[in-house]
């Protein structure tokens, strides 16, 4: 039966890698009766992390959706990756949920992954709750972690539960709203006994209860006045104010437990349905000037937030219904691809069980298989709705909801383009080639399917080096793609560092004479030309000037000279790289009525150009990148020192929220392995992006190292 939108809770489990999100996801499924035993991450028995590469690495790589019921509410729970290399899935989950539960380890406390995702959740105006996990670990400290949460996320972070005991002696939790304690039955992980708060914990509970009441009272002026005047606040008023404050980020409740022992998960499920908002309570989303409400009778409006590429089932798209009803065997319109899609089998996962509902209603999350032209980041609308043009803004997995960007939903007869997802920029690139001859086309088609699953991947062919380049957020990111390429599609590839796209240019003018003459009986070959070359400003490219007078070279052969010149410029005389920023003037020449031909003048032009380049003081140019790095303040000195060692030139620094943005100009050749080095320097907290700024002359001492290496590579390539 399809649940009403006000009975749905859409919740993303997010946090730093290793905080226990997958274990908590498993414990919640166990507590809800979806699975009959607690799965374990180390032995690969959890519902999520079911892919072989996830089990081998013992970490989440893709988001996992589980739908189940608790206290007559439908909970759509999305377990997301914590590794920053796979942040696209976490961003996509935040996009389609009203609430996020941040899982934080009681030993390590607040880590960088949680901080970044918290900022994104704030942009999306999500309700946020924190689950402090791993209370039974050595050196675990709930109260120290609570203070870190306040320092990182603001004063409105407040405990609604505190643990009884610490480290291996933790035995239960105290609910500060009801002022009751819940002790776990040591013999039964699903067994809890509600008890009076033990005397030894009473003072602690009352102290943190008072802090909770201070936050709850701030939700409304009326409540604050009564609280300050000493009036009693009823339990119902406390619960209502807590829920109201949590909805739009005025209160951030903190609960606690041990996921691997199922400690605190029953209380967390209750908090999800009692304190976190439904799609109706959270309010409509705004698409430009249009508010989209969770109306089951309205025209369909749905967002695809994740695509899985399956070699047998094809595309499986996970999507959120914002308005209307998505029914089996219906049609929907995708304005990006301008395609009408037939909606086939709908999918809902409950633990390891797969259901096929007849329809998904507003507020619900599910999946649909075998859509031909739809993938992550696309919107689907009712086919009839597509006939009307509406200006709106399409939220994307990494873009703030405001300010709105223009989006047009139009009929196929009035095509429009939706803005694509704004995702982190790939920074770790490799050249790849298939291990088996003839597999290049299969490799590329398979990679394109994996790119639909992970849109962060950048796949392109370098026009200068001719290499196929794959780029991701880290080395592990690219390695996972290569592993999936083999396991899913049977294509094995080799990864190599990409070649730096050097260029060559000249520093002075020169003249040259090219003559191609060949006589071997019968008609010969003859072409003769004189050229002058001179340097142009950087970025000017190539300019050709025809100064031939008197027809000494017929017009039909001048084009052949240009072809020869351009051909010579493709492989310069310094290290074989393309030549740029050169002006070539054809000043003189001669021809033969019988022996001259286009091929002869092409060869003469190429010969003249190579000679002129050698005499024009040629130099090697390297790409200079503009680096923008966001790093912790305490790491600035180490990062600047490392950039200096890479021939970098810092251009400025600017502080922002405990982080410092460093700008620097750095040669691309020095940055090919920068990602793991920055991660090591900053403890995984630094991130960066790069863009091409300009080309500069390679210093002589560096050029001396490059040219012999190029000669060796070219010799090996022609062997």
- Same domain, yes or no, for 254 and 267? yes
Extract the tokens encoding 338: 């301008």
**CATH number, position 106:** 3.40.50.300
- Same domain, yes or no, for 57 and 98? yes
- Same domain, yes or no, for 372 and 454? no
Extract the tokens encoding 170: 């933790």
| Other Cβ atoms within 10 Å of 156 Cβ, number | 16
Domain count, the chain: 5
pLDDT at 106: 93
Please compute the mean of the pLDDT values over residues 518-532 and round it to a whole number: 86
Q: Higher model confidence: residue 666 or residue 688? A: 666
Contact 591, 551 (CB under 8 A): no
Does pLDDT of 689 surpass 50? yes
Residue 17's pLDDT band (cuts 50, 70, 90): confident
**Does some domain include residue 220?**
yes
- Same domain, yes or no, for 597 and 628? no
What pLDDT digit, counting tens, does each position of 30-83 carry?
999 998 888 888 877 888 887 888 888 888 989 999 999 999 999 999 999 988
Percent of the chain with pLDDT over 70: 91
**CATH number, position 347:** 2.40.30.10
pLDDT at 189: 61
Q: Residue 673 is part of which domain span?
A: 621-702
pLDDT at 558: 94
- Same domain, yes or no, for 185 and 74? yes
Does pLDDT of 377 surpass 90? no
pLDDT at 401: 35
Q: How far does Cα 318 stand from its chain's mean position?
A: 17
- Same domain, yes or no, for 310 and 336? yes
What pLDDT digit, counting tens, does each position of 396-433 carry?
333 333 333 333 333 333 233 434 446 777 777 888 99
pLDDT at 417: 40
The CA distance from 568 to 580, in Å, is 11
DSSP letters, 286-352, are EETTEEE---TTSPPEEEEEEEEEETTTEEEEEEEEEES-EETTEEEEETTTTEEEEE--EEEEETT
**Does some domain include residue 287?**
no
Extract the tokens encoding 697: 């002359």
What pLDDT digit, counting tens, does each position of 115-171 carry?
889 988 998 999 999 999 999 999 999 999 999 999 999 989 999 999 999 898 899
- Same domain, yes or no, for 187 and 144? yes
| Average confidence score pLDDT of the chain | 86
Does pLDDT of 175 surpass 90? yes
pLDDT at 659: 76
Contact 498, 672 (CB under 8 A): yes
**Does some domain include residue 718?**
no
pLDDT at 711: 53
**Does some domain include residue 227?**
yes
Contact 126, 94 (CB under 8 A): yes
- Same domain, yes or no, for 228 and 98? yes
Of 130, 204, 137, the C-alpha closest to 170 is 137
pLDDT at 271: 94
Its pTM stands at 0.75
**Does some domain include residue 379?**
yes
**CATH number, position 454:** 3.30.70.870
pLDDT at 277: 95
pLDDT at 396: 39
pLDDT at 708: 63
**Does some domain include residue 515?**
yes
Contact 457, 375 (CB under 8 A): no
- Same domain, yes or no, for 352 and 442? no
Does pLDDT of 279 surpass 70? yes
- Same domain, yes or no, for 576 and 674? no
């Amino acid at each position: 039966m399809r649940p009403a939108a006000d009975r749905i809770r859409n919740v993303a489990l997010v946090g730093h890698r290793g905080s226990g999100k997958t274990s908590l996801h498993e414990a919640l499924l166990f507590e809800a009766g979806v699975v009959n035993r607690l799965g374990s991450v180390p032995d690969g028995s959890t519902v999520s992390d079911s892919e072989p590469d996830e089990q081998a690495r013992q970490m989440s790589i893709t988001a996992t959706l589980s739908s189940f019921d608790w206290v007559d509410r439908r909970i759509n729970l999305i377990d997301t990756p914590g590794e920053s290399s796979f942040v696209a899935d976490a961003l996509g989950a935040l996009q389609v949920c009203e609430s996020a539960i941040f899982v934080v380890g009681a030993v390590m406390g607040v880590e960088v992954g949680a901080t970044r995702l918290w900022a994104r959740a704030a942009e999306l105006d999500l309700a946020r709750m924190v689950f402090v996990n791993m209370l039974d670990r050595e050196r675990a400290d709930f109260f120290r972690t609570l203070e870190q949460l306040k320092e990182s996320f603001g004063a409105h972070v407040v405990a609604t539960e505190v643990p009884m005991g610490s480290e291996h002696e933790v035995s239960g939790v105290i609910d500060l709203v009801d002022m009751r304690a819940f002790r776990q039955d040591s013999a039964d992980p699903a067994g809890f006994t509600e008890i009076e708060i033990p005397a030894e914990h009473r003072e602690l509970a009352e102290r943190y209860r008072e802090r909770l009441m201070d936050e709850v009272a701030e939700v409304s002026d009326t409540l604050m006045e009564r609280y300050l005047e000493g009036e009693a606040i009823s339990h119902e008023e406390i619960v209502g104010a807590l829920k109201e404050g949590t909805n739009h980020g005025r209160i951030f409740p903190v609960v606690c437990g041990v996921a691997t022992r199922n400690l605190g998960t029953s209380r967390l499920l209750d908090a999800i349905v009692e304190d976190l908002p439904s799609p109706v309570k959270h309010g409509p989303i705004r698409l430009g000037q249009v508010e989209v409400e969770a109306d089951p009778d309205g025209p369909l409006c749905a967002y695809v937030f994740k695509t899985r590429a399956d070699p047998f089932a094809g595309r499986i798209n996970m999507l959120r219904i914002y308005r209307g009803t998505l029914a089996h065997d219906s049609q929907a319109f995708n304005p990006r691809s301008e395609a009408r899609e037939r909606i086939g089998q709908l999918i809902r996962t409950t633990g390891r069980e797969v259901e096929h509902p007849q329809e998904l209603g507003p507020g619900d999350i599910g999946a649909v298989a075998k859509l031909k032209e739809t993938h992550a980041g696309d919107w689907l609308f009712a086919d009839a709705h597509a006939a009307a043009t509406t200006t709106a803004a399409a939220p994307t997995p990494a873009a703030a909801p405001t300010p709105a960007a223009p989006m047009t939903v139009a009929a196929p007869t009035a095509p429009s383009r939706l803005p694509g997802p704004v995702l982190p920029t790939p920074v770790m690139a490799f050249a790849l080639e298939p291990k088996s001859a003839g597999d290049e086309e299969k490799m590329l088609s398979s990679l394109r399917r994996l790119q639909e699953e992970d849109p962060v991947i950048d796949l392109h062919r370098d026009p200068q080096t001719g290499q196929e380049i794959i780029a991701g957020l880290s080395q592990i990111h690219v390695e996972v793609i290569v592993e999936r390429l083999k396991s899913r599609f049977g294509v094995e590839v080799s990864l190599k560092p990409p070649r730096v796209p050097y260029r060559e240019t000249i520093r002075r003018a020169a003249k040259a004479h090219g003559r191609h003459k060949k006589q071997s009986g019968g008609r010969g070959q003859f072409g003769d030309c004189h050229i002058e070359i001179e340097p142009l400003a950087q970025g000017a490219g190539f300019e050709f000037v025809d100064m031939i007078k008197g027809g000494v070279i017929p017009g039909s052969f001048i084009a052949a000279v240009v072809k020869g010149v351009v051909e010579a410029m493709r492989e310069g005389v310094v290290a074989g790289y393309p030549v740029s920023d050169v002006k070539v003037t054809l000043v003189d020449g001669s021809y033969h009525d019988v022996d001259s031909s286009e091929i002869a003048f092409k060869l003469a032009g190429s010969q003249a150009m190579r000679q002129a380049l050698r005499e024009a003081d040629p130099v090697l140019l390297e790409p200079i990148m503009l680096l923008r790095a966001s790093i912790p303040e305490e790491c600035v000195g180490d990062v600047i020192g490392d950039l200096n060692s890479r021939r970098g030139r810092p251009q400025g620094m600017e502080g922002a929220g405990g982080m410092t943005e460093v700008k620097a100009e750095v040669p691309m050749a020095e940055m090919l392995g920068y990602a793991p080095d920055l991660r090591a320097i900053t403890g995984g907290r630094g991130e960066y992006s790069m863009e091409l700024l300009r080309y500069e002359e390679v210093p002589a001492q560096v050029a001396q190292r490059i040219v012999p290496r190029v000669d060796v590579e070219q010799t090996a390539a022609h062997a």
